Amino acid sequence: MPHVDQHLSGDWLEADESVRIRLVANDQELPVEAPPRCTLADALRDNGLKGTRLGCEQGSCGACTVLLDGRPVRSCLMLAVQAEGGRLETVEGLAAGGELHALQRAFHDHGALQCGFCTSGFLMLAAGLLREEPDAGRERIREVLSANLCRCTGGGPILQAVLAAQRELRGGRG
């Protein structure tokens, strides 16, 4: 099976002809064999990382949000081949060394989830934000969180949880 790079110079691929794609997810190599039209979300899910959820496949709900080189992306709108060589982070990598991330604990404490389907996407969206903008104000956080949908809680408890996690993370930084 050819590697996707081999085709960049001219040979056309059939829609369902698989290629090898080198993904790195949560600091681990994730060798993927998929057709070029395979979305990043499907590639992750088909290769064991099912914590990334698909809620609309239209880029609206944000349940499939993952981080690519630290930036949140809708993995339903991106092709797996586009993530070649990038550094991916998914919900499976959020807890470090068996200890939950501050955001995960805060989501639990603040009732920021009910059915849990949107949770992975919100966690990754918030993780990216708090790393990129650790001092983001309440309105900025609210604005960013409005990118995703939560039908069970409406999102208010999610905002509370992210603010609480931010307090903890800033405290930890001293």
Partner 1 sequence: MTSGYIGVSVERDDLAFLDGTACYVADVDREGQLYARVVRSPVAHARILDIDVAEALAQPGVVAVITAADIPETRIPIRLPMAETPYTHLFLQPPLAREVVRYVGEPVAVVVASDPYLAEDAAELVDVDFDELDVVSDILSATTQGTPLVHAEAGTNIVATVPLGYGDVEAAFARADVVIRDRLRMHRHTAVPMETRGLLAEMDHGTGVLTLWGAAKVKHFTRSALSSMLGIERHRIRLVENHVGGGFGVRGEPYPEDFLVAFLALRLGRPIKWIEDRAEHFVATNHAREQEHDLEIAATADGRLLAFRDRAWCDQGAYVRSQGILPALLPALHLPGPYRWEAFSVETRGVLTNRTPVGTYRGPGMTEATFVRERMLDKLAAELRLDPAELRRRNLIRPGELPFSFEPAPITYESGDFPAGFEHLLDEVGYDDLCKQRQVRRASGEHVGIGFAAYTEIGAIGPFEEARIVPRSDGRFVVHVGVASLGQGVETVLGQIAAEKLGVPMDAVSIDHHDTEKLADGFGAFASRSTTLAGNAVALAAEDLRAKAAARLDVPAGEIRFVQGQVREPSGRTIPLAEVGEGRGRFDKPHPTFSFGAALSLVSIDRETGLVKVLRHAVLHDVGRAVNPELLRRQLAGAASQGIGAALLEELLYDEYGQPQSTIMADYRMPTVEELPDIEVIVEERPNTANPLGVKGGGESGMVGTPAAIANAVADALGVEGARVWRLPLTPDRVREMLRHH
Q: Which residues bind partner 1 (CB under 8 A)?
A: 15-16, 35, 37-38, 45, 49-58, 60-61, 63, 90-92, 94-95, 100, 104, 107-108, 111, 113-120, 123, 142-143, 145-159
CB of 50 to partner 1, least distance (A): 5
Kindly state the smallest distance separating residue 84's Cβ from partner 1, in Å. 19
Nearer to partner 1, 10 or 169 (CB): 169
Q: Which is nearer to partner 1, 10 or 14 (CB)?
A: 14
Residue 129 host element (H or E): helix 119-132
Going by C-alpha positions, the residue among 107, 95, 104, 90 that lies closest to residue 52 is 90
Question: Is residue 66 within 8 Å of 42, Cβ to Cβ?
Answer: no
What is the β-pairing status of strands 87-89 and 19-25?
Answer: parallel
Compute the 3-state secondary structure of the chain and give helix, strand, coil in percent, each to the nearest 5: 40, 15, 45
- Listed residue (35, 43, 52) closest to 89, CA to CA: 52
- Residue 25, judged by CB atoms within 10 A of its CB (0-12, 13-18, 19+), counts as buried
Least Å from the CB of residue 110 to partner 1: 10
Cβ closest to partner 1, residue 9 vs residue 58: 58
Of 56, 86, 57, nearest in space to 72 by CA? 86
The nearer residue to partner 1, 32 or 85, going by C-beta atoms, is 32
Work out how close the CB of 62 gets to partner 1 at its nearest, in angstroms, rounded to a whole number. 10
Question: In whole angstroms, how close is the CB of 9 to partner 1 at the nearest point?
Answer: 26
Q: Which two structure tokens, joined as six digits, stand for 165?
A: 């996690």
Q: Which is closer to partner 1, CB of 24 or CB of 35?
A: 35
